[in-house]
Structure 1
Amino acid sequence: MAVEVGAQAPDFALRTQHGEQVTLSEFRGERNVVLLFYPFAFTGVCTGELRALRDELPKFVNDDVQLLAVSNDSPFSLRVFAEQEGLEFPLLSDFWPHGEVSRAYGVFDGEKGCAVRGTFVIDKEGVVRWTVVNGLPDARDLNDYVKALAEL
């Protein structure tokens, strides 16, 4: 079951595609966070979703908001994926322990071995204010994130 609106977002420490550690708590009191889980790099729907975010990046990475995209890929795969697609926001690796953060947020599909499409808008106090969870084949609408951020 996914983390619900109104709940404190579970903190985590994950590595980016460049090997830098990122924690959710480092944004507390500073920025709202759009935490986006996606199944795998280099796949059709995931690539499309991340390209759409790339193309609207100022809405999701600015003085008030930080986008963090999480998959169960290795950081090495994420680095190549980011370079290939021109993704200049943190791609976080929930590779090992496999799916630990995805499980904490209730979006890990143990049968498939990857996260489903879960998005959590987290306010500056670390509280989940909006969420959507879609199945593997179902892309999300980034305009929903924009609306949720506007309501914070």
Structure 2
Amino acid sequence: MSIDEETRNKAAAARLHDAVATRDLEIVSKTIDELVAPDVLFHAPVPMGMTGVQALKQVWTVLFRAFPDLYVTVEDVIAEGDRVVARNTVTGTHRGEYRGMPPTGRSVTYGEIFIFRFEGGRIAEVWGVVDVFSQMRQLGVVS
């Protein structure tokens, strides 16, 4: 893997982040179609019975419905070989149904780390570690 490929992969991850920052599901969906392999393997704490790009798109549909002001701040990005790692801080206000929970109006701030594996210039696999416990604690679900 060359430095150029690592730079390209980091740029692709940044494009995905920029699309998410618009909070526009159409832009997010189009960007996913451009940057992500259709059969992407998606490993994250989001049970929904979907696979591939549909699972990734559904994540954003659910999050934007629940947290319409959701914002992901990228704290660190590391690229090596075919992987890009992003450590993020997520903020938002719970204004819509989320995981069966009606809106609370509470604000949340939680951390997450995502690893993207690239193949042929596209994201082929995603691992996500999301601080769901902190999210649920801030929403009042757990103490």
**Structure with the greater alpha carbon radius of gyration:** 2
**Superposition TM-score tier, normalisation by shorter sequence:** 0.3 to 0.5
Structure richer in helix, relative to its length: 2
Structure richer in strand, relative to its length: 2
TM-score (norm 2): 0.33
TM-score (norm 1): 0.32
